[in-house]
Amino acid sequence: MTWPDALWPALAVLASFYVPGLLVLSGLRLPLLAAIALAPAASAAVAAAGTMACLATGIEWTPISAAAATILAAAAAFLLGRWIRPPALEPEHPVPAPVKLLALGTLAVAGVVIAATMMAGIGRPDRVSQAWIPPTTPMPSNGSRTAARRARGASCRSSTMDRRRSTPRAGTPLSRSHRET
Protein backbone atom coordinates (compact mmCIF):
# COMPACT_ATOMS: atom_id res chain seq x y z
CA MET A 1 0.00 0.00 0.00
CA THR A 2 1.27 3.47 -0.85
CA TRP A 3 0.50 6.81 0.78
CA PRO A 4 -1.90 7.89 -2.01
CA ASP A 5 -3.77 4.59 -1.56
CA ALA A 6 -4.15 5.35 2.15
CA LEU A 7 -5.54 8.85 1.53
CA TRP A 8 -9.19 7.91 1.02
CA PRO A 9 -9.45 5.67 4.10
CA ALA A 10 -7.72 8.38 6.14
CA LEU A 11 -10.18 11.00 4.90
CA ALA A 12 -13.08 8.67 5.73
CA VAL A 13 -11.77 8.27 9.28
CA LEU A 14 -11.38 12.04 9.64
CA ALA A 15 -14.91 12.55 8.34
CA SER A 16 -16.29 10.03 10.82
CA PHE A 17 -14.51 11.89 13.62
CA TYR A 18 -15.64 15.39 12.62
CA VAL A 19 -18.87 15.36 10.57
CA PRO A 20 -21.32 14.00 13.20
CA GLY A 21 -19.93 16.27 15.90
CA LEU A 22 -19.93 19.35 13.65
CA LEU A 23 -23.55 18.72 12.68
CA VAL A 24 -24.62 18.39 16.31
CA LEU A 25 -22.59 21.34 17.60
CA SER A 26 -23.62 23.66 14.77
CA GLY A 27 -27.21 22.85 15.72
CA LEU A 28 -26.39 24.12 19.21
CA ARG A 29 -25.18 27.41 17.65
CA LEU A 30 -21.62 27.15 18.90
CA PRO A 31 -18.96 29.34 17.28
CA LEU A 32 -17.15 27.61 14.42
CA LEU A 33 -13.76 27.26 16.12
CA ALA A 34 -15.33 25.84 19.28
CA ALA A 35 -17.40 23.43 17.18
CA ILE A 36 -14.30 22.26 15.29
CA ALA A 37 -12.37 21.75 18.52
CA LEU A 38 -15.19 19.82 20.20
CA ALA A 39 -16.37 17.86 17.15
CA PRO A 40 -14.43 14.61 17.83
CA ALA A 41 -15.76 14.44 21.40
CA ALA A 42 -19.31 15.13 20.21
CA SER A 43 -18.91 12.48 17.49
CA ALA A 44 -17.81 9.97 20.12
CA ALA A 45 -20.84 10.90 22.24
CA VAL A 46 -23.18 10.40 19.27
CA ALA A 47 -21.58 7.03 18.50
CA ALA A 48 -21.78 5.95 22.15
CA ALA A 49 -25.44 6.93 22.46
CA GLY A 50 -26.23 5.33 19.10
CA THR A 51 -24.56 2.03 19.94
CA MET A 52 -26.34 1.88 23.30
CA ALA A 53 -29.68 2.60 21.60
CA CYS A 54 -28.97 -0.10 19.00
CA LEU A 55 -27.99 -2.54 21.73
CA ALA A 56 -31.19 -1.83 23.67
CA THR A 57 -33.44 -2.16 20.61
CA GLY A 58 -31.66 -5.09 18.96
CA ILE A 59 -30.79 -3.12 15.83
CA GLU A 60 -27.40 -3.91 14.31
CA TRP A 61 -24.84 -1.07 14.41
CA THR A 62 -24.08 -0.30 10.76
CA PRO A 63 -23.15 2.82 8.81
CA ILE A 64 -26.88 3.36 8.19
CA SER A 65 -27.72 3.21 11.89
CA ALA A 66 -24.75 5.50 12.60
CA ALA A 67 -26.11 8.01 10.07
CA ALA A 68 -29.57 7.72 11.65
CA ALA A 69 -28.10 8.36 15.11
CA THR A 70 -26.27 11.40 13.75
CA ILE A 71 -29.42 12.78 12.10
CA LEU A 72 -31.47 12.28 15.27
CA ALA A 73 -28.82 13.87 17.47
CA ALA A 74 -28.38 16.80 15.06
CA ALA A 75 -32.15 17.37 14.91
CA ALA A 76 -32.39 17.30 18.71
CA ALA A 77 -29.44 19.69 18.97
CA PHE A 78 -30.98 22.01 16.37
CA LEU A 79 -34.26 22.17 18.30
CA LEU A 80 -32.48 22.57 21.62
CA GLY A 81 -30.19 25.25 20.21
CA ARG A 82 -33.15 27.27 18.88
CA TRP A 83 -34.95 26.95 22.19
CA ILE A 84 -32.04 27.75 24.53
CA ARG A 85 -29.55 29.98 22.66
CA PRO A 86 -30.52 33.19 20.89
CA PRO A 87 -28.76 33.99 17.62
CA ALA A 88 -25.13 34.97 18.14
CA LEU A 89 -24.33 38.66 18.19
CA GLU A 90 -21.53 40.16 16.13
CA PRO A 91 -18.36 40.49 18.21
CA GLU A 92 -17.36 44.02 19.25
CA HIS A 93 -13.74 43.52 18.14
CA PRO A 94 -13.68 40.98 15.32
CA VAL A 95 -10.39 39.29 14.49
CA PRO A 96 -8.94 40.80 11.29
CA ALA A 97 -8.85 38.57 8.22
CA PRO A 98 -5.03 38.65 7.88
CA VAL A 99 -4.68 37.30 11.43
CA LYS A 100 -7.10 34.48 10.63
CA LEU A 101 -5.19 33.67 7.44
CA LEU A 102 -1.88 33.71 9.32
CA ALA A 103 -3.24 31.30 11.93
CA LEU A 104 -4.66 29.01 9.24
CA GLY A 105 -1.39 29.07 7.28
CA THR A 106 0.64 28.32 10.41
CA LEU A 107 -1.57 25.34 11.22
CA ALA A 108 -1.28 24.07 7.64
CA VAL A 109 2.52 24.31 7.66
CA ALA A 110 2.71 22.60 11.06
CA GLY A 111 0.45 19.82 9.79
CA VAL A 112 2.62 19.26 6.73
CA VAL A 113 5.81 19.15 8.82
CA ILE A 114 4.31 16.69 11.31
CA ALA A 115 2.85 14.51 8.55
CA ALA A 116 6.14 14.44 6.62
CA THR A 117 8.06 13.46 9.75
CA MET A 118 5.60 10.68 10.57
CA MET A 119 5.53 9.40 7.00
CA ALA A 120 9.33 9.28 6.88
CA GLY A 121 9.44 7.41 10.16
CA ILE A 122 6.74 4.89 9.30
CA GLY A 123 7.91 4.24 5.75
CA ARG A 124 4.76 2.63 4.36
CA PRO A 125 1.21 3.07 5.65
CA ASP A 126 0.61 -0.69 5.88
CA ARG A 127 3.59 -1.24 8.18
CA VAL A 128 2.89 -1.31 11.89
CA SER A 129 4.80 1.49 13.56
CA GLN A 130 6.23 0.18 16.83
CA ALA A 131 9.37 2.25 17.35
CA TRP A 132 11.56 4.56 15.36
CA ILE A 133 15.13 5.53 16.04
CA PRO A 134 16.30 7.98 13.39
CA PRO A 135 19.28 6.53 11.49
CA THR A 136 21.18 9.84 11.68
CA THR A 137 21.02 10.00 15.47
CA PRO A 138 24.13 8.56 17.18
CA MET A 139 23.56 6.05 19.94
CA PRO A 140 23.84 7.67 23.37
CA SER A 141 26.57 6.52 25.70
CA ASN A 142 24.50 6.64 28.86
CA GLY A 143 21.81 4.32 30.24
CA SER A 144 19.36 5.06 27.44
CA ARG A 145 21.29 2.51 25.34
CA THR A 146 19.14 -0.15 27.03
CA ALA A 147 15.96 1.56 25.83
CA ALA A 148 17.35 1.72 22.31
CA ARG A 149 18.18 -2.01 22.41
CA ARG A 150 14.67 -2.79 23.61
CA ALA A 151 13.23 -0.72 20.78
CA ARG A 152 15.18 -2.85 18.29
CA GLY A 153 13.95 -6.03 20.00
CA ALA A 154 17.25 -7.10 21.59
CA SER A 155 17.31 -8.75 24.96
CA CYS A 156 18.75 -6.56 27.70
CA ARG A 157 19.25 -9.27 30.33
CA SER A 158 22.74 -10.33 29.30
CA SER A 159 24.23 -6.87 29.17
CA THR A 160 27.75 -6.57 30.58
CA MET A 161 26.62 -3.42 32.33
CA ASP A 162 24.18 -5.52 34.36
CA ARG A 163 26.72 -8.25 35.18
CA ARG A 164 29.37 -5.79 36.33
CA ARG A 165 26.98 -3.77 38.47
CA SER A 166 28.56 -3.02 41.82
CA THR A 167 25.30 -2.13 43.54
CA PRO A 168 22.03 -4.02 43.42
CA ARG A 169 19.21 -2.84 41.22
CA ALA A 170 16.62 -0.54 42.73
CA GLY A 171 13.80 -2.40 44.42
CA THR A 172 15.72 -5.66 44.99
CA PRO A 173 16.85 -6.88 48.40
CA LEU A 174 20.54 -6.51 49.15
CA SER A 175 22.63 -9.60 48.62
CA ARG A 176 25.19 -10.73 51.20
CA SER A 177 28.08 -9.24 49.25
CA HIS A 178 26.54 -5.78 49.49
CA ARG A 179 25.62 -5.77 53.18
CA GLU A 180 27.74 -3.82 55.59
CA THR A 181 29.15 -6.00 58.37
45 domain-assigned: no
Number of domains in the chain: 1
* Residue 68: inside a domain: yes
Predicted pLDDT of residue 4: 86
* pLDDT at site 51: 96
Confidence of residue 17 (pLDDT cuts 50, 70, 90): very high
Residue 74 domain flag? yes
HEC secondary structure over 112-156: HHHHHHHHHHHCCCCCCCCCCCCCCCCCCCCCHHHHHHHHCCCCC
Residue 135 reports pLDDT greater than 50: yes
| Percent of the chain's residues with pLDDT above 90 | 45
**Is the residue at 75 inside a domain?**
yes
Predicted pLDDT at 159: 46
What pLDDT, in 10s, does the model give residues 33-75?
Answer: 889 999 999 999 999 999 999 999 999 999 999 999 999 999 9
pLDDT average, residue stretch 162-170:
52
Domain, as residue range, for 67? 60-86
pLDDT above 90: residue 119:
no
> HSE of 35 in the Cβ direction (CA atoms, 13 Å)?
16
Mean per-residue pLDDT, 83-97 = 78
Residue 64, in any domain of the structure: yes
Other CB atoms within 10 A of residue 36 CB: 14
Please say whether the beta carbons of 71 and 49 come within 8 A: no
Q: Is residue 106 part of a domain?
A: no
Could you report the per-residue pLDDT of 120-132, keeping only the tens digit for each? 888 888 877 666 6
CA angle, 106 then 4 then 66, to 5° = 85
More confident: 48 or 88: 48
Q: State the pLDDT at residue 101.
A: 93
Asked whether residue 93 carries a pLDDT value surpassing 90, the answer given is no
Please tell me whether residue 12 adopts helix, strand or coil conformation: helix
